[in-house]
Structure 1
Amino acid sequence: MSEADTSSATKRRPDWAALIIAVFLLAVAAVVFWDASHLKTIAQYDRIGPSTVPKVVAFGLFCLGIWTAFEAWRGDFPEREQQEVAPVIWIVAGLAGQMLLLRIAGFSIATGVLFALTARGFGKRQIWISLPIGIVLSFVVWAIFSQLLQLTLPAGPLEHLFF
């Protein structure tokens, strides 16, 4: 075997990560279609009802899953860059922190923590600057949604201090 034959043989291997993504797309399509098929029809004579759009979305996901599986099997996906794990951990930590603090500290502080840790994940190293900025921006969002639009968001000590 020549070097060209060896490189083409290794290049044509299935992309296993893309195959896993294809299986995930097919599973989501199946769940969406199953859920849409259990929606009650309002009128029997009309072909378009509440399940029409979810079924179209399921069909689209199914087609994307098949296409992804086909391309993965052929090995046609471009080479991916090395993944950086640390930013993902910072962002997931921010989401976990928000979920844990939401009822205790309220929307502004919890979402400010999410903002600061996400900013850290994107490369902003000064958390002591990002945290107050995130809390202030989150408080403004809370005030707009809670006070002006009359929507219910979790209030904590900061929100009770002003309202």
Structure 2
Amino acid sequence: MALDRWVAFVILCAAMAYGYAAFFTMDALLPPFMQRNPIWPSTFPKVLAVLTIITCLFILLGLEKSEDDGKEPDIDYRRLGDYHLSQALGLLALMVGYALVLRPAGFLSATFLFLVLGSVTLGERKLIVLLPVAAFASFVVWYLVDEVLGIFLRPWPFFL
């Protein structure tokens, strides 16, 4: 079985567990006044689980490949060294670092640093464009989450 099908199988297993939690365990603890609402807190997880399961089955059954496609697969697990593995692992390390630094450094600075370092890791070299775009994106996301949605995000480091 090709690498893309193995990845789809692993994601399918995770999506089935997620779907089970969304369909059978999340709604059991709803208060009575919320049980009459047309949209529950589990609505988006249910939709996400169903769409993920459908997509994974689509890949597992090979429906995304055309019949005249006789060439080698797109991803060859025997040649993983030929891909940009260091960039992918670096980006994963940055994600873990972002999660660890988010609270003490504050949302704005942690997000700005993650966007800048992630872009540099992936090969962006135009800092004159990168720095203002990262600052603007960090501020817009913070503003939408904090001010529009009303979910508090500490914008600055803990010592300010």
Per the alignment, do residues 25 and 86 of structure 1 end up closer, same or farther by CA in structure 2, a change over 3 Å counting?
Answer: same
Give the aligned partner of residue 120 of structure 2.
Answer: 120
Per the alignment, do residues 138 and 107 of structure 1 end up closer, same or farther by CA in structure 2, a change over 3 Å counting?
Answer: farther
Unpaired runs of 5+ residues, structure 2, are: 76-81
CA contact 1:29–1:58 (8 Å) conserved in 2:
yes
Give the aligned partner of residue 79 of structure 1.
Answer: 73
Question: 1:94: how far off?
Answer: 2.6
Deviations, residues 4-53 of structure 1 (Å, cap 9, x unaligned): xxxxxxxxxx324413422421441343134312324836xxxx874677
For 2:48 and 2:139, how far apart are their aligned partners in 1? 35
Structure 1 length as normaliser, TM-score? Answer: 0.57
Aligned length: 140
CA contact 1:120–1:126 (8 Å) conserved in 2:
no
Unpaired runs of 5+ residues, structure 1, are: 1-13
For 2:90 and 2:147, how far apart are their aligned partners in 1? 33
The amino acid that maps onto 1:69 is L
CA contact 1:90–1:120 (8 Å) conserved in 2:
no
CA contact 2:146–2:153 (8 Å) conserved in 1:
no
Give the aligned partner of residue 102 of structure 2.
Answer: 102
Give the aligned partner of residue 136 of structure 2.
Answer: 137
Moved more, 77-86 or 103-112: 77-86
Deviations, residues 38-77 of structure 1 (Å, cap 9, x unaligned): 324836xxxx8746775565444444333322229x9x78
Question: 1:123: how far off?
Answer: 0.9
Per the alignment, do residues 96 and 55 of structure 1 end up closer, same or farther by CA in structure 2, a change over 3 Å counting?
Answer: closer
Which protein is bigger by CA-based radius of gyration? 1
For 1:139 and 1:62, how far apart are their aligned partners in 2? 32
1:18-29 residue pairs with structure 2 within 5 A?
Answer: 18-29=5-16
